[in-house]
Amino acid sequence: MNVTPEVEDWVRKAEDDLAAARRLAKGKPSLPDQTGFFCQQAAEKYLKAFLITAGQAPPRIHDVDALLEMCATVEPAFEQFGALVEGLTEFAVIYRYPGGWSDTPTARQALTQAEQVRALVREKLDLV
């Protein structure tokens, strides 16, 4: 696929978000809400980078599930990865405000999911 400078910028931002999530996950305290937020942000940006490469303008949404579905319309292989992003969207809103709290195991799962989204998108963009 053709990785343009715009796509490179999206991937770079995603990489930075994932780096932030990794650091937060290792910290004392581990800050699960914030870790998960950066995992969601990373997954969102990786998927949007894929969409841009496919010639689609990504919508201004934070719904990682919807973005994955959009990617599947371009590349059917994405259809099998619904569980890969399950629960990540909640970190964009629910856990950002009072009333919703995450925990360390959930944040660790979000980190694993974001890492898998990263691997999938980088493979599809030939950035391995």
At the top level of CATH, the class of 5-124 is mainly alpha
Cα torsion angle, 95, 96, 101, 103, sign: positive
* Mean pLDDT calculated for residue range 37-58: 97
Q: Could you read off the pLDDT of 59-112 as tens digits, one per residue? A: 999 999 999 999 999 999 999 999 989 999 999 989 988 988 999 999 999 999
Q: In the chain, pLDDT over 90 holds for what percent of residues?
A: 89
pLDDT given at position 96: 86
Residue 2 has pLDDT above 80, yes or no: no
Q: What's the Cα-to-Cα distance from 50 to each of 23, 41, 78, 81, 83, rounded to whole Å? A: 25, 14, 11, 14, 18
Mean pLDDT over each residue of the chain, to the nearest integer: 95
* Cα(38)–Cα(82) distance, integer angstroms: 19
Give residue 55's Cα distance to chain centre.
19
Indicate the domain borders of the chain: 5-124
